[in-house]
């Protein structure tokens, strides 16, 4: 499994929560709390190996139950630890780095007609740190919008 995905030109693609580098960073973020909870009976390298397989689970309970089946001694505190959004935090951190490294800029202005993933509307919010656009469709209230990666948004001719 590759840690970093590249396009056909060798340029790094936007990180996703399924990327190994994101999962590794999430485990790194969780590790201090995990080792504090688990105590000295657990070997850090083995904890990393086990957690890396399950860190992207849907919630703390599911992750903990999976580890329990793998022989871990689990409790409600472990569920609380895994209920933290380590994957989301790692992904946001890495996307911000990706935007900086590649110099990704937003070129569509607020109020411009655009589309993404079958949704059509106007750009209503800009997220330069993560290179994302807020796209409000006609059916949405003025304060609501979909958030899409910049590379998936295209202009609409009106």
At which residue do the structure tokens 């890396």 appear?
Answer: 52
At which residue do the structure tokens 């309970």 appear?
Answer: 61
What is the residue-level pLDDT of the chain in tens, covering all 158 positions? 457 888 899 889 999 998 999 999 999 999 999 999 999 889 999 999 999 999 999 999 999 999 999 999 899 999 999 999 999 999 999 999 999 999 999 999 999 999 999 999 999 999 999 999 999 999 999 899 999 999 999 999 86
Give the Cα separation of 121 and 158 in Å (integer). 11
Name the phi and psi angles at 120, rounded to 5.
-125, 135
pTM score: 0.86
Cβ–Cβ < 8 Å for 121, 74: no
Where would I find the beta strands (DSSP E) of the chain? 113-116, 119-127, 132-137, 146-149, 154-155
């Amino acid at each position: 499994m590759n840690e970093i995905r590249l396009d056909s030109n060798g340029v790094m693609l936007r990180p996703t929560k399924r990327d190994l580098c994101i999962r590794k960073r999430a485990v790194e973020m969780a590790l201090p709390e995990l080792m504090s909870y688990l105590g000295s009976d657990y070997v850090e390298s083995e904890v990393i190996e086990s957690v890396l397989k399950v860190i992207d689970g849907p919630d703390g309970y599911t992750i903990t139950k999976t580890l329990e089946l793998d022989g871990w001694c689990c409790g409600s505190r472990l569920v609380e630890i895994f209920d933290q959004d380590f994957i989301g935090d790692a992904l946001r951190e890495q996307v911000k780095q990706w935007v900086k490294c590649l110099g990704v800029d937003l070129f569509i202005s607020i109020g411009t007609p655009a589309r993404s993933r079958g949704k059509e509307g106007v750009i209503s919010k800009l997220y330069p740190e993560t290179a994302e656009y807020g796209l409000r469709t006609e059916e949405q209230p003025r304060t609501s919008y979909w958030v899409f990666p910049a590379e998936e948004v295209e202009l609409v001719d009106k």
